[in-house]
Structure 1
Amino acid sequence: MSDVFLLYGAVGAVAGVLSGLFGVGGGVVIVPLLAMVFPSQGIADELVMVMSVATSLASIIATSVSAVAAHQRRGAVQWPWVWRLAPGILSGAAVGAVLAEHLPGRTLKLAFALFLLFVAGRLLFAKRAAGGSGRVSCWRNGAAGAGIGLLSAIVGIGGGTLTVPYLVKRGVVMAQAVATSSACGLPIALAGALTYLYLGWHRSGLPPLSCGYIYLPALAGIALCSMFFAPLGARLAHRLPAAGLKRCFAALLVLVAGRLLQQSWPIF
């Protein structure tokens, strides 16, 4: 068990460094890494992806609390935007978890691979968005929050790749958008993780030390190490060339997406 825990700690360390280094949610790296590790732990193929997503969301709770505390000390979190988006996020994340439970593992892998390609494309080609108007109807904010929560719960992320562009388009300064996105990641992770916990509570065939679809040994190792290593990634981000780092990380995401596509469609 100690060797396995160290393995999950390594996953958390990688996720923490990359999250701090590139400013993307840890789920982008946690989910595919767990999907590669879980089969070696005897977890059934049909459970690998849903447990990877659920465990990723649970680990994001801890990292979100840490990130929000750091941003709040700098006064960067725009709480009015959090309250506007939170109702939609909570409902969307719960629905997303229910949908993901009924999707085949192969479909979840395909969905996550496509999401990784989307993130890679944004890293490589997205231009700085011009600020827009902050006046948006409650219905539009609710729909945006629901969409962010839905997709985030299906693929196991904190939603930053979706929330930040939406806030910037609404006229929020980039630094504040990143901070506010971290705060929005907490309701995504809470609603998604609790729904996965409930849905898997009476599921047969789960490995020992599971809490619903959340695998506790992986959660402990990832949460502890990602919180410890994220500041290291943040420090490196200020010392290394940003453009080159983004290209390298985008290339890594494309490779991981290709691996997931190959597992989903063996003809690749």
Structure 2
Amino acid sequence: MLESTLWLFAMCLVLGSGVGLLAGLLGIGGGLVVVPALVWLLPEAGIDGRLVMHIALATSLASIVLTSGASARNHIKLGNVDFSIVKSMAPGVVLGGLGGSVIAELVPTALLPKIFSVIVLLLAVQMLVSMRITRHRALPGSVACVCSGGMIGVVSSLAGIGGGSLTVPYLSWYGVEMRCAIGSASLSGAIIALSGMTGFIAAGVGDETLPAMSIGYVYLPALIGIVSTSMLTTRYGAALVSRLPTMTLKKFFAVFLLFIGSKMFLG
């Protein structure tokens, strides 16, 4: 058991390196990469298959708290975070993050990737189309922002992600400059992940079938491996954001969403 745990830890160190770079570059917490990777890695480490999805989601959200937090800190230093936007969406994303962890116990696990993959593909198409259309829209009022934040929080928690894949296109649609959208999504993602992680920890407390070194559904060997490297590589992704033109970032992000959405839909 110790050997398989050490193997999982080593693999998560490698995984975390890529996750941190994506977090800094795209404003995402890396859950779109972490969850599928853990779904494959955890059974190889001897984790009961019935627990894999919940552990993957919870551990992903826990890693996003730290990874997105580190990414947000770098973006704040670079002036890429609009605190007024984050503040307007915060109540919704907190409630949505908690709600998503509760709904995860009720919705069939096999259905969630299909639903979310369709959302991701639609967002990618929207972003590609928006490159050809120049519009200036004002952000909606406070109530609409809270509702939007709530929807983003629910879907993000259900999918074990920080919400950057939803928040960045949402802010971009309203004309928020891309660097600001990515930076603000990083901070918002940390808030979503924190609320979602709290819900998954509470749901798993007292479950005697969970592996050792777990806090609720959060599996510490995987979490520590991921964040050990991801928190170091976020700075490089954040620095790259400030050097790339907005159009390049939009294209890269849209292609990234198309790839992930297609993989999730095809299983």
TM-score (norm 2): 0.84
Q: Which residue is 1:257 aligned to?
A: 264
The residue aligned with 2:234 is: 230
Q: CA separation of 1:180/1:192 partners in 2, compared to 1, >3 Å: closer, same or farther?
A: same
Q: How does 1:1-268 map to 2 (within 5 A)?
A: 1-118=5-122, 121=125, 127=131, 130-134=135-139, 136-233=140-237, 249=256, 252-253=259-260, 256-258=263-265, 260=267
8 A contact 1:131–1:168 mirrored in 2? no
- CA deviation digits over 1:109-163, x for unaligned, max 9? 43444455446545665536633113x3222111111111111111011111222
The 1:169/1:244 distance shift into structure 2, 3 A limit, reads closer
Change (3 A) 1:85 1:21: closer
Residues 16 and 230, structure 2, Cα contact 8 Å, conserved in 1: yes
1:266 is matched with which residue?
none
For 1:143 and 1:244, the matched residues in 2 are separated by: 28
Measured in 1, the distance between the counterparts of 2:21 and 2:187 equals 20
Q: What is the number of equivalent residue pairs in this alignment?
A: 259
Distance 1:148 1:72, change over 3 A: same
Per-residue CA deviations over 1:143-199 (Å, capped at 9, x if unaligned) read 111111111111011111222233234443222222111111121011000111011
Aligned identity (percent) is: 35
TM-score (ref. length: structure 1)? 0.83
Alpha-carbon RMSD: 2.8
